[in-house]
Chains A and B, each alone.
Chain A
Amino acid sequence: MRLTGIYLACLSLVGAYGGREPSQETFKENLILRPLPDGRLLAHFVFDTEIEQNQSLPLQHYDLFPRQISEMVQRYHTEELILSFTQGTWRFEDWDTPPINEIGSGAQVLAKVGSNERGVYGNWKGLTNALSGMFCASLNFLDHTNSVVPGQTFKLPKGSQAQGQYFGVYNATTLLGQLPRENVCTENLTPWIKQLPCQTKAGIAALLNPHRLYDSDFFSMGLSFKPTCKSPSCEEIMLSYTQTLTAVLDLSRLMDGKKWSLRDIFDREVRNSCPLARSSSVQIIYPDTLNLQLESAHAKPKVHEISSFLKAAAFDLRNESVLDLQLSWEPFKAKTDNSAWISAHRFVLGHGSENGGIETLVTNNLPMHLNITYFDLIPWYLHVYAHTIKIQAHLGNGAIKELDYHDFQYQQPKIRGRPAILEFGLTLPPNSWTSVQYDFDKGFLKYSEHPPDANRGFNIG
C-alpha cells in the first residue's frame, strides 16, 4: 500500500512537471445604454475575450476563446480581422458620434493577411469563405472584383504588434472587402451568439432578443480579432477577440408610456451575470443636464462623471441577482459640444443608365481645421473620370472656396477585374461643409451579370 502511495505520488509529480501552465484567459461583458436626443435609445453590447500567449507557439490551449476563430486565423495566416454587418443609416445630426467605426450599410471585412504557399489572395479567399460558413452570410462573394488593398485609410495601426512572426505570418497585407447589399438578420446573429461563453443563458447577452434588435432604426454587429505585445520584446502577446452589437431602438414606437424597464425594452431580462465573466456591467451614459430617472429595487448604481458634460451610472452585475432597471427621460436637445464632430453623407447624381455622378457632403462641426482622408471604393462597372473631381468648401459666412487635396491616389479599375480606389487628404475649414463630386459613365453589363432583382438597381457602397 505504501509503495503504491509513493508510486502514485511520483507519477503525479511527473505529471505536474510535464504539464503546461494553462493560458490566462479573461472574458468581460459590458452593456452601454445611451438616451439619444430624439428620444431613441442606443444600446451597445461589448463582449471581450482575451488570452495570453507565447507568440512562437500555436494557439491550442484555451477554454473561453472561440475555437472557430482560433483555428480560422491560424489556418489562413490572419494577423488581424474586423468584420461587420450593418443595416440602417446612422443619423449624425441627431445621434452624435457612433460608438463604432463601421457604419456603412452591408457587410465589410478588413483583414491583415499573411502570405504563404497559398499567397495573400488565397488566404483572403479562404478566410472570407470560412467567415461565410461561420456567419451564414454571402461573404464568399468577396473576390478580386470587390476586394482591394487600401492605401493609408484602412492601414491598421502598427503600434506594438507582433510583426512578421506571429502565427508564422509574413509580409502581412491589409485587405478590404465590401458587400453593400448584404442584409443582416437572425441567421447571422445565431452563430455570433454561439461564440459567447454563456451564450444567451446568463449575463447581458440574455437581452439579445432578435425580434427587438431587428426592429431598430440602426443595427450593427461585428467582431474584431487583434494581437498586441505584452512586452517590448514581444515574446508574450495578448490576443483579444471583441464582439460588439449596436442598435438604436425607437422606444416610443415599440411601446406606450414614458417609463421603460430593461424588460420592456428587450422583452427579456437579466437574471444573473455570466459566471465565466471577469467583469459584467451595465452603464448608462447621459448628458449631465438631462433629468434621467433611474430606478432599481435591488441594485444601486455608481454615478460618476466621464467628461465635462457626460455622466455615467454603472451597475455591477456580479453583485446583483436581478437587474430590474427602469429608465425615463424627456427628449432633449444635443449641446453643440456633444454632437458629432464630423459627419458625411453620400448620394448619387444624375439619372438614366448612361452616366451619373457621386457627391459626398462632409461637415466639420468643430471651430478648427480638420485633416481628413477621403476614401472611396468604386465598383468596376462605374467608369470614373478622375479629372471631374471637384472639391468645394462652403464656409460659415456663406463663401465658397475650392479646396486642394494632397496625397492623391487613384487606382484604375479593370473591367470585370478590380474596383477603382479614390483616396486623398483634405483639410476641412472650421465650421464648414465640403462637397466632393465626380462624374462616371455606367458600364455595359452582360445579361448574366445583372442580379436577379436588377429592377431595384445596384448598391455601390
Chain B
Amino acid sequence: MLGTRHQNQSRNADGDSDVDEFSAPLLIDNDPDSRIQHGSIRVCTSRFWFNYRHIANTLAIYRTVKRLGIPDSNIILMLADDMACNPRNKHPGAVFSHPNHEVDIYGDNVEVDYRGYEVTVENFIRLITGRVMPDTPRSKRLLTDDKSNILFYLTGHGGEDFLKFQDAEEINSYDIADAFSQMWEKKRYNEIMFMIDTCQANSMFSKFKSPNILSIGSSRVGESSYSYFHDADLGLTVIDRFTYVNLKYFEDIDMQSRSSFSDLYSTYDTKIIKSNPGYDTRHFKRRFDQTLLTDFLGAVAKAEITEKSYPLQRNITRDTSKTGSNTAKVRCGTASVGNAIMYILYHICLLALILLYLCATCFFFNNGV
C-alpha cells in the first residue's frame, strides 16, 4: 500500500506561522549484516528561538538512537541554532521536550556535528553524497557503504515538495531524490529509512526513485503538521505531534525489540497527530510488517550461536573444497597455521643458537680447565 500520494489537494505552506513546520533530518546507519558500521545523522534546519520544538524533536530522536546503541561517532547531528545556551533559555544548558522538565534531552554528553550557519542545503547534500572538502574531519562525513542502513530524520518548516533550511533557502523533493540516487550509485547505503516531520511531509518522498528506501511522513499534501505541548515556563511549544507519537512508542522498545514498522504505524492516532501520516514502500523490498525498527534505530549485532565449537585448524584442509564463504575462512586459517609454523621455527632457531652458545662456553671452559 502506498499511503502517501495524495496530490489532489495541493496547497502551499504559506500560512505556516501558526502551524508547526520545522525540519531536522536524522540519518541512522545501521549495518546488521556485517556488524561493522552503525551510524546516524540528524539535522535540524530551523533557526530562531521560537523554533525550539524543532531542536527538541531532533535531540529526542538523537537520545533514542543513542540509547539503542548507536555511538556518537556514527551519528551526524545538524542543529541550525543553539537553544540550550540561547540567552532566552531560562534553563541554560538544557532542552526539554515535555513541560514536566523531567528529562533534559540535551544533557551532559552531546556532540553536534554541523551547527549554526553550517546547516545549509549544500552541506547536507555534500554530506550524504560524500562530496565534501578534502580537509573535512571524520565527524562531518557520512562514512557508510553498501552494507549500511541509514535513518534520516528531518524536521522543520516546509510545504509541498520543499523543506526550508534556516528560513533562508529550501531543499526540494527532487534534490533529495537525486541525492539518494547518487548515494545508491556510489554504494553508500544498503537501506534507508526516511522519516520527516513537516507540513505536507509526504510530498518530500514522492519523488524517490532509488531502491531500498522506506519513508514515513507526518502529513499528506495539503495538510499541516502541528505542534504539541506548550510550555508556559519557557513560553513556547516544545515538541511536534508526529514526533511525540513516535517517541512515545520508541520509549518502550529496547535493543532486543521485535517491533516492526507496522506496529509503529498502527499506533498513529490521527486525533492526536491532527494530520494523516503516510508511508511509502514502493522502493522497499522487505515487508513493512516484517521490518524491525531496530534495523534502523539501533545498533544491534546479530550473534549466531552454534551447537558445536568451530574447528579452527585440523579440519581446515578438508573444508577447502566447500562454499565460497568457507574458502575465505580457510585462507585465514592456512595463513595462521603458516604463521604458527614460522613462529615455532624462529624460536627453535633461537633455542639452537642459545644451546650452541652454552655448548661453546662449556667447551672453552672445559678446555681452559
Q: Which residues in A have some Cβ–Cβ distance to B below 8 Å?
A: 3, 6-7, 10-11, 87, 125-126, 129-130, 132-134, 136-138, 140-141, 181-187, 190-191, 209-211, 213-215, 451-453
Contact = CB atoms under 8 A, between A and B. Distances in A.
B109 interface: yes
A327 B311 CA distance: 68
B167 A211 contact: no
Contacts, number: 95
In which size bucket is the chain B interface?
35 or more
Interface string B95-126: 00000000010111111110111100000000
B137 A211 contact: no
Given A183-B116, A453-B48, 19 more contacts: A3-B351, A7-B354, A125-B135, A126-B135, A133-B137, A136-B113, A137-B115, A138-B116, A141-B118, A183-B82, A185-B82, A185-B93, A187-B110, A190-B111, A209-B108, A213-B93, A451-B117, A452-B117, A452-B166
7 closest pairs, A vs B, by CB? A133-B137, A452-B166, A185-B85, A452-B168, A129-B135, A214-B93, A187-B112
Given A133-B137, A136-B115, A211-B92, A185 B48 contact: no
B121 to A, nearest CB: 12
22 contacts: A87-B85, A125-B135, A129-B133, A129-B136, A132-B140, A133-B113, A133-B137, A133-B139, A133-B140, A134-B139, A136-B113, A137-B115, A140-B140, A185-B84, A185-B93, A187-B112, A190-B108, A211-B92, A211-B93, A211-B94, A215-B92, A453-B166
Interface in B139-178: 139-140, 166-168
B75 to A, nearest CB: 12
Interface in B64-98: 80, 82, 84-85, 91-94
A132 B137 contact: yes
A134 B113 CA distance: 9
B322 interface: no
B138 interface: yes
B82 A129 contact: no
Contact of A138 (B84, B110, B117): B117
A181 to B, nearest CB: 8
Residue among A125, A126, A184, A210 with the most chain B CB within 10 A?
A210
A191 B72 CA distance: 11
B36 interface: no
Nearest to A132: B137
Given A185-B93, A186-B106, A136 B85 contact: no
A3 B166 CA distance: 76
Contacts of B272: none
Query: Is chain B's interface secondary structure helix, strand, loop, or mixed overall?
Result: loop
A311 B166 CA distance: 52
B47 interface: yes
A187 B118 CA distance: 15
Given A87-B85, A130-B137, A136 B111 contact: yes
A195 to B, nearest CB: 13
Nearest to A76: B135
A156 B104 CA distance: 42
Contacts of A451: 117
B167 A133 contact: no
Contact of A452 (B47, B94, B111): B47
B135 A214 contact: no
A114 to B, nearest CB: 17
Contacts of B113: 133, 136
A441 to B, nearest CB: 25
A214 B82 CA distance: 13
A183 B358 CA distance: 71
B84 A3 contact: no
Contact of B112 (A3, A136, A140, A141): A136
A323 B108 CA distance: 23
